[in-house]
């Protein structure tokens, strides 16, 4: 039958004897099938000219637009032991409501009167600081008094010096007068002696002149001694200036040293007071943290630490709260090849997991169960998964997102690009070309040079 052999047997077979061969000869192509094929080809050709919206499809999940609207984990600032729970899972709480109370577990804070004792230490250091400050003020007053006394003592000594100089001057004049009188008395004595030898003067007159010259000699000697005493006194007063200065300088230096010691002790007391005040504030804040409060208005979704008497460490999460009011958004990722095709404000069609939808990606207006969105943030830094993160917000001009959508749900996003013909899109897909890059708004021509001024 396959005509492999050179010997033919088909000429020896009578095909008319068999009905099957007769039916095969009479079969013809159906006219209906030909019409169907023709219509299908025509429709396919015409569909090539239909509009098609290029798009980028990506998966993501529902989140919130603002970071503070996302589920919050309540943490314990300090370590402790759980004593009481004041809320239940699923309960609404307001900001500042007490979630739980913990007790102390560190022996350094077991003292029930730790705040009173620390406050007493602060008051003691405060009084000590005041005492040292008063001592420093007294020493400062003493220092000023010493400086004034030094000036007064030096002025008094200078006055005595001037007085002694005047005395020396007076004694010098008196000495000169006494010496002159002594010389005159000596001349008179010589004349009297000569007259006495000549018998013209009596012995009494001679003795009177001798007595007078002795008195003059004694007065000169007394004046010389007095002048020497005054000069010695002047030298002593001049030397006393250095003694006064040295004495008062030592007293002033000692007063300054004591004042600086008092100030140093005051500063130490102030530092100790500030340190104790910091400890008091830390103790007070720690006791306030025995009550763990809700940071936001929301619903308690999970109690992470549950057992009474359970020990928790500082920073451990104890509960999770979902905010009552939040603005939904979608967190999605696109490939680096599609990154140049997206921009802020671009329209997006969103399909939520669990929400029935019929999607025609090329004809977004014909899709059912999808909701409008806009891109409001694009990360310029690539993520760990090798893609770029984008954030999608609800489109205010489109239908509102369903209230049943919850944070963490999955999404399928369709980012709408340029509108092209179906034939072009098939050609692009078969060749593996990227979607067309475009912008809705035409770029305005920017003048880079100032216009030339007209010359009059």
404-418: pLDDT as tens digits: 888 888 888 887 776
CATH code of the domain containing 161: 1.10.287
Q: How far is CA 76 from CA 14, 92, 291, 310, 322, in A?
A: 101, 20, 9, 13, 18
Q: Are 265 and 147 in a shared domain?
A: yes
Q: Are 276 and 166 in a shared domain?
A: yes
Q: Are 253 and 362 in a shared domain?
A: no
Task: Catalogue the long-range contacts made by 336-340 (C-beta closer than 8 Å, 24 or more residues apart).
Answer: 336/382, 336/386, 336/387, 336/388, 337/434, 338/56, 338/434, 338/435, 339/388, 340/437
| Percent share of the chain, pLDDT over 70 | 81
Integer Cα distance of 139 and 254 in angstroms? 10
Q: Are 163 and 208 in a shared domain?
A: yes
Q: Note the pLDDT of residue 52.
A: 65
At 423, is the secondary structure helix, strand, or coil? helix
Contact between 72 and 320 under an 8 Å Cβ cutoff? The reply is: yes
117-135: pLDDT as tens digits: 999 999 999 999 999 999 9
Q: Are 235 and 383 in a shared domain?
A: no
Residue 382 lies in a domain: yes
Q: Note the pLDDT of residue 446.
A: 36
Instruction: Provide the pLDDT confidence category of residue 15 given band limits of 50, 70 and 90.
Output: low
Q: Given a cut of 60, is residue 366 above it in pLDDT?
A: no
Residue 21 lies in a domain: no
Q: Number of structural domains, the chain?
A: 3
Q: Note the pLDDT of residue 452.
A: 39
CATH code of the domain containing 314: 2.40.50.100
Residue 175 lies in a domain: yes
Residue 397 lies in a domain: yes
76-118: pLDDT as tens digits: 988 899 999 999 888 999 998 999 999 888 888 888 888 899 9
Q: Are 346 and 270 in a shared domain?
A: no
**In terms of residue numbers, what domain contains 369?**
51-68+326-431
**Higher confidence at residue 23 or residue 354?**
354
Residue 446 lies in a domain: no
Q: Which of 179-193, 249-263, 434-448 has the lowest mean pLDDT?
A: 434-448
Q: What is the DSSP string of 147-165?
A: HHHHHHHHHHHHHHHHHHH
Q: What is the rounded end-to-end Cα distance, in angstroms, of the chain?
A: 105
Task: Catalogue the long-range contacts made by 276-280 (C-beta closer than 8 Å, 24 or more residues apart).
Answer: 276/118, 276/121, 276/122, 276/125, 277/122, 279/118, 280/115, 280/118, 280/119, 280/122
Integer Cα distance of 319 and 369 in angstroms? 36
Other residues' Cβ atoms within 10 Å of the Cβ of residue 416? 17
Distance of CA 25 to the CA centre of its chain: 97
Q: Note the pLDDT of residue 122.
A: 92
Q: Give the residue among 56, 40, 81 at the shortest CA–CA distance from 361.
A: 56
- Residue in the structure block whose two tokens are 């369709």: 414
User: What's the number of CA atoms in the CB half-sphere (13 Å) around residue 229?
Assistant: 8
Residue 447 lies in a domain: no
Residue 452 lies in a domain: no
Q: Are 133 and 274 in a shared domain?
A: yes
Q: Are 80 and 203 in a shared domain?
A: no
CATH code of the domain containing 419: 2.40.30.170
Distance of CA 323 to the CA centre of its chain: 28
Residue 380 lies in a domain: yes
| Percent share of the chain, pLDDT over 90 | 19
Q: Note the pLDDT of residue 447.
A: 39
248-295: pLDDT as tens digits: 899 899 998 999 999 999 999 999 999 999 999 988 988 888 999 998
Q: Are 257 and 316 in a shared domain?
A: no
Q: Are 130 and 266 in a shared domain?
A: yes
| Tokens (6 digits) for 106 | 């560190």
Q: Are 81 and 57 in a shared domain?
A: no
Q: Note the pLDDT of residue 450.
A: 37
Q: Are 177 and 311 in a shared domain?
A: no
């Amino acid at each position: 039958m396959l005509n492999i052999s050179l010997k033919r047997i088909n000429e020896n077979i009578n095909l008319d004897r068999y009905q099957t061969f007769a039916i095969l000869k009479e079969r013809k192509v159906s006219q209906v099938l030909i019409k169907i094929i023709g219509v299908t080809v025509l429709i396919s050709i015409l569909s090539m000219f239909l509009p098609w919206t290029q798009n980028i499809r990506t998966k993501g999940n529902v989140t919130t637009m603002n970071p503070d609207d996302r589920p919050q984990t309540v943490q314990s600032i300090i370590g402790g032991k759980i004593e009481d729970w004041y809320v239940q899972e699923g309960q609404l709480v307001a900001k500042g409501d007490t979630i739980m109370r913990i007790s102390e577990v560190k022996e350094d804070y077991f003292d029930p009167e730790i705040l009173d004792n620390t406050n007493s230490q602060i008051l003691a250091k405060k009084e000590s600081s005041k005492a040292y400050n008063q001592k420093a003020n007294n020493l400062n007053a003493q220092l000023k008094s010493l400086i004034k006394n030094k000036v007064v003592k030096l002025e008094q000594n200078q006055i005595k010096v001037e007085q002694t100089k005047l005395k020396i001057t007076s004694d010098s004049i008196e000495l000169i007068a006494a010496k002159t009188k002594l010389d005159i008395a000596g001349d008179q004595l010589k004349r009297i002696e000569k007259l006495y030898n000549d018998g013209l003067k009596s012995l009494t007159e001679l003795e009177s002149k001798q007595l007078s010259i002795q008195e003059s000699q004694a007065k000169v000697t007394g004046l010389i001694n007095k002048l020497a005493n005054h000069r010695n006194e002047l030298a002593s007063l001049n030397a006393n200036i250095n003694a006064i200065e040295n004495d008062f300088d030592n007293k002033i230096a000692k007063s300054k040293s004591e004042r600086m010691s008092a100030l140093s002790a005051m500063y130490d007391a102030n530092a100790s007071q500030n340190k104790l005040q910091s400890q008091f504030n830390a103790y007070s804040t720690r006791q306030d943290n025995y009550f763990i409060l809700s940071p936001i208005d929301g619903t308690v979704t999970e109690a992470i630490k549950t057992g009474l008497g359970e020990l928790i460490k500082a920073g451990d999460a104890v509960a999770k709260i979902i905010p009552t009011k939040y603005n939904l958004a979608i967190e999605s990722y696109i490939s680096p090849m599609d990154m140049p095709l997206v921009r802020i404000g671009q329209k997006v069609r969103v399909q939520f997991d669990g929400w029935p939808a019929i999607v025609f990606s090329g004809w977004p207006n014909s899709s059912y169960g999808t909701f409008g969105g806009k891109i409001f943030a694009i990360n310029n830094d690539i993520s760990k998964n090798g893609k770029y993160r984008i954030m999608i917000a609800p489109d205010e001009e489109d239908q509102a997102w369903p209230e049943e959508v919850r944070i963490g749900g999955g999404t399928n996003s369709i980012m709408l690009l340029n509108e092209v013909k179906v034939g072009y899109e098939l050609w692009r897909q078969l060749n593996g070309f990227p979607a067309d890059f475009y912008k809705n708004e035409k770029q305005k021509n920017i003048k880079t040079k100032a216009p030339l001024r007209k010359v009059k």
